[in-house]
Structure formats: structure tokens, C-alpha cells
Amino acid sequence: MKVTVVSGPRTEEVDLPNNATLTDLKKAYRPKVSIHRKSFKVPSADQSRAKEGKPQLTTLSDKTSLAEQGVKEGAQITYKDLGPQIGYRTVFLVEYAGPLAFILFYAMRPSFIYGASITKEYGYAQKVFISLFAAHFIKRELETVFVHKFSRPTMPLRNIFKNSIYYWSFAAFIGYILCHPDYTEPSATQVNIGAVAMVINELLNFAVHYQLSTMRKGDGDTARNVPEGPLFSLVSCPNYFFEVMSWVSFSVGTNMISSWFFTLAGLLQMAEWALKKHAGYVKVDPSNKKKKAILPFLL
């Protein structure tokens, strides 16, 4: 099977076997870059929403052969270089390592940050939430290595800088205030309520991540199965809900405005992701309309 690949003004004819997959096309097409940078599109079967002079395109996938996706002899395929890529797991490991490094540095070398004369010991709230902050990101790192399964192998390289700036800057801000000698502690009752609530939400968040992991055979599995069970009874993305509630608990227990800002920023970002995933689940199973995306009964 011969197809024509179009890249801007340049065209190239590529020979492929009749049962070729997207991976075969990526390997056969000439540019000597990582196959993860290569994206190919073909005209969609439904052109009802096509703009004048520009046909609507559909990205080819590796789920089925090219023939099953409508690619036939003489087909014209549009190529795009996605730019430098980096592994999903690598990005997660780096972005979570930063907050862990910040909090440990503040906690273990306070005299270096706050002055050589600092001798004051950490209070009860500081000890509890420094430990929980570190535990949260250790959990994230371990989940990245042993639990999460990624449907796509890579993401744009720029994401590692964007994600790291977000996590690292908030961690630097929160950690500096939490470990500061002049930090004002809330009551022990408030600290204990926040700490217990955070631990519960972290455990529930892990339970959701584990269930989602068991629904995939391994990295590269793109199956979009709709998760079920008690954890998914009210929202489509309870992992995001428990993540947000974990930081709400941290904010309550520490009584820090900086933590509330981080919680709000996280909610806004995760709400966007949750709404997209929820829409996908509804397409697969319309009965999911009765659920919310991230916040029970609200959003």
C-alpha cells in the first residue's frame, strides 16, 4: 500500500504493508526523529464541521490498523512534528522531587535559611505537617514508579518546566512559612482535625489510583473503561476530589493563606481535567450524566 505524506509544501510517497499500523508509518516516514514526535492525521469521515478550504482532520492511532481507520491505497496523510518529547514518568518524578527537596532542606537546615542564630525547636503543628507534606510527595513518587500506568509514552518537553515551576514555587512558598521560627500555630484540636482528615484523604486518593491502575494492562493501554464502585458513585474523578480535600485538610491544620492559594490553584486545574474526563465517560456510558466531575453535587 502506497500513501502520500504531506508536511507543509513537501510530499513524500511511503510504501507500507497492507496491514500496516501507525507505528509502521512512523518508522517508515523519513525524518530521523523519535517516533514519539511524529503525529499523522487524515481527513475525517464527517466533514460537517470543516472550515472552508480546510478539511476536518482526525489523528491516527495505534488502536487498530491504518486500513481500519480509513487509510487506503493512495491516501493523503498530513504529518506534524510534535517537537521535543519527554517521558510522562520522568516529568512526574522531577516535578514531585522538587517540593520534597524544599521541605526537607527548610526542615533540616533552618539556620541556613532563617539565620545562624536560630535555635528554636519546631512546634507540634510544624512537626506534624512537615511530615505530612513530605509523606504526600513521597507517596506521589512511589505511585509514579509502581502504580500509575500511562496511556501515552511522552509529553512535550516544555511541560517539565511548566509543571516544575508550579509545584516548586508553591512548595518553596509554603515550606518557607511552615518552617519559619515565627510561624504561629493553630490550636492542637485544629491541627489534629486537619492531620487526620489529610491522612484519610491521602489513603482514599491512593485507593482510587490503585483501582484506575488495575483497569489497564500496562503502559500504552489506551482503553477508556468507565470506572465503577463506591469511590466513583458521586463523581467521575474522585482521585482529584480527594487530592483537593487533602490540601483543604492541610490548609485547615496549618492555618496558612499560602496553602489555601495552592489548594485553589490545584482545584481550578484539576476541575478542568475532570470535566474533560467526565465528558469522555459520558460518551462511553450516558448514565454517567447523573454524576458530577469532581465535586459531589456541585461540579
pLDDT tens digits, residue range 60-81?
A: 888 788 988 888 888 899 999 9
The C-alpha atoms of residue 199 and residue 250 are separated, in whole angstroms, by 10
The pTM of the full predicted model, rounded to 2 decimals, is 0.87
Q: What angle do CA 289, 292, 294 make, to 5 degrees?
A: 145
Residue 260 CA to chain centroid, in angstroms? 21
CATH number of 2-81: 3.10.20.90
Give the domain ranges of the chain. 2-81, 86-290
pLDDT tens digits, residue range 193-230?
A: 999 999 999 999 999 999 999 998 888 777 778 999 99
pLDDT tens digits, residue range 10-62?
A: 899 999 998 899 999 999 998 888 888 999 998 876 665 656 657 778 888 88
The pLDDT value recorded for residue 216 is 86
Strands 2-7 and 76-81: parallel
The pLDDT value recorded for residue 113 is 83
Where b means 16+ CB within 10 Å and e means fewer, 259-277 reads bbebbeebbeebbeebbeb
Where b means 16+ CB within 10 Å and e means fewer, 18-56 reads eebbbebbbeebeeeeeebbbebbbbeeeeeeeeeeeee
